[in-house]
Amino acid sequence: MLLLIDAGNTRVKWACVPIDAPLQFPAPWDAIGSVSHQGFEQLAQSISHHDFVRCKISNVAGAALQQRIEQLVLTQYPDLLIEYFNAADAVPGVQNRYRDPAKLGADRFASAIAAHYSFPGDDVVVATCGTATTIDAITAQGDFLGGMILPGLQLMASALANNTAQLPQIALHADSLDVFATQTDQAIASGCLHAQIGAMQCAVQHLAHRCGKPVKLIISGGAAPYLVPQLRQLQQLQPFHWQDVENLVLTGLWIAAKSS
């Protein structure tokens, strides 16, 4: 069994998949889950029932968390082969056009790989919505062109309302929010949501102009469910191709593991 770990700034996601499973989408996870940094010890219990021979990890949360992950995994599986995924010049099928490829976040590159393999032949913009929102462009030929990083919904709301407008409040308005809100809390929610969507639209328009054909928007991440209702409303005004896809980083790690 192959163990995949996506260590992000807020949560640690994990999945296990048979080592010889053929590439298919969505991935044939044998088990999948996530834990908070505070509840990290739950990971040991979650994976204890599996027989792993290999582990691939993407970590963007620093050396301390990396050390905790290694200690936890190797305590249960002392002979386990642990490999760390980092952005590189290329993996089979995807070319990294970052000025310094090694400085691209591992999670962003993994998501790009997953999007390219999941939607072959499409030029795609990948928006991953978490603590930060990252929006990246990948051509149908597999060129990772780069992207943008902006504060995530939680950070935006906190900055505007001194921690009083958090994601639960945004969730109250997400399904029926008017762009031109008539209450302050709704106006904050509208601003945060549409700032995110506006950045995605900008990326889609620029990539479509560059490629000369329609572009698909892929949205993923923990905050994606708050943005999906607004994307549906926007699609009624301005039709475009988009899809909500879960676990892009884990999928990209699986592809990278299979490729190596």
Does the annotation list 6 as a binding residue? yes
Integer Cα distance of 223 and 228 in angstroms: 9
pTM: 0.89
90-250: CATH architecture: 2-Layer Sandwich (3.30)
Integer Cα distance of 259 and 245 in angstroms: 22
Query: If you average pLDDT over every residue of the chain, what do you get?
Result: 89
Q: What per-residue confidence (pLDDT) applies to 259?
A: 86
Confidence band for 47, pLDDT divided at 50, 70 and 90: confident
Confidence band for 216, pLDDT divided at 50, 70 and 90: very high
Integer Cα distance of 194 and 170 in angstroms: 12
Active site residue 107: yes
Integer Cα distance of 149 and 104 in angstroms: 11
Q: Residues 44-65: what's their mean pLDDT?
A: 91
Kindly name the residue from 20, 30, 79, 107 that is annotated as catalytic. 107
Does the annotation list 105 as a binding residue? yes
Does the annotation list 108 as a binding residue? yes
Does the annotation list 62 as a binding residue? no
Integer Cα distance of 30 and 73 in angstroms: 18
Does the annotation list 8 as a binding residue? yes
pLDDT tens for each residue of 143-196: 999 999 999 988 888 887 665 545 545 555 555 567 787 777 778 888 889 999
Q: Higher-confidence residue: 178 or 243?
A: 243
Integer Cα distance of 40 and 42 in angstroms: 5
Largest separation between any pair of C-alpha atoms in the chain:
60
2-84: CATH architecture: 2-Layer Sandwich (3.30)
- Above 90 in pLDDT, residue 233? no
Q: Residue 58 — φ and ψ, nearest 5°?
A: -110, 125
Return the domain boundaries, the chain. 2-84, 90-250
Q: Do domains 2-84 and 90-250 have the same CATH topology?
A: yes
Neighbour count for residue 219 (Cβ, 10 Å): 25
Look at strands 143-151 and 132-138 and give their pairing: antiparallel
